[in-house]
Amino acid sequence: MQNNYRLLKFFAINKLLLIVVVISVNLFMGCLDVMEVTVLPQKKNQSINNYFVYYGSFHNHSNISDGTGTPEEAYLYAQNDADLDFFGLSDHDRNYNDSSWDLVKQAADQYNSDGVFATFWGFEWSNDSMGHVTVVNSDTFCMSIQPETANFRQLDLWIDRRNCFAILNHPGRQDGYGVEFDHFKNLISEKIVGMELWNKSDGFSDYYYNDGYDSNDNGKGFYDEALTHHLKIGAAGGFDNHSATWGTSADFRTAILATSLTREHLFSAMKARRFYSTLDKNIALSFTIKEQEMGSTISPGTTTLHIRASDGDNEAFSEVILFDRNHTVRRIWQPGRVTVDISDTLHNDNGDYYYVKVRQIDGDEAISSPIWVSNGQ
pLDDT in tens, 351-371: 999 999 999 999 999 999 999
Q: What pLDDT is attached to residue 44?
A: 72
In a shared domain, residues 228 and 259: yes
In a shared domain, residues 17 and 159: no
The CATH number of the domain holding residue 355 is 2.60.40.1930
The CATH number of the domain holding residue 271 is 3.20.20.140
User: Which of these three, 247, 276, 305, is where a domain ends?
Assistant: 276
In a shared domain, residues 145 and 130: yes
pLDDT in tens, 231-278: 999 999 999 999 999 999 999 999 999 999 999 999 999 999 999 999
User: Which of these three, 257, 276, 295, is where a domain ends?
Assistant: 276
The answer for residues whose C-beta is within 8 angstroms of residue 360's C-beta and 6 or more apart is 280, 283, 311, 315, 316, 317, 318
Mean pLDDT, the chain, integer = 91
Nearest to 88 by CA among 233, 207, 222, 194: 194
In a shared domain, residues 21 and 88: no
In a shared domain, residues 180 and 288: no
Question: Cβ(184)–Cβ(231) under 8 Å?
Answer: yes
User: Which of these three, 276, 304, 333, is where a domain ends?
Assistant: 276
In a shared domain, residues 312 and 191: no
pLDDT in tens, 162-211: 999 999 999 999 999 999 998 887 677 999 999 999 999 999 999 999 99
In a shared domain, residues 217 and 253: yes
In a shared domain, residues 108 and 147: yes
Question: Cβ(289)–Cβ(300) under 8 Å?
Answer: no
In a shared domain, residues 232 and 291: no
Question: Cβ(15)–Cβ(47) under 8 Å?
Answer: no
In a shared domain, residues 174 and 77: yes
CB-neighbour burial class of residue 367 (10 A; exposed 0-12, middle 13-18, buried 19+) = buried
Q: Is the pLDDT of residue 341 over 90?
A: yes
Q: What pLDDT is attached to residue 57?
A: 98
Q: Name the 3-class secondary structure at 281.
A: coil
In a shared domain, residues 161 and 63: yes
Domain residue limits at 303: 280-377
Question: Cβ(278)–Cβ(356) under 8 Å?
Answer: no
Supply the pTM of this predicted model. Answer: 0.90
Q: Is the pLDDT of residue 147 over 60?
A: yes
Q: Provide the percentage of residues in the chain whose pLDDT is more than 90.
A: 84
pLDDT in tens, 33-50: 554 554 545 567 899 999
Question: Cβ(12)–Cβ(116) under 8 Å?
Answer: yes
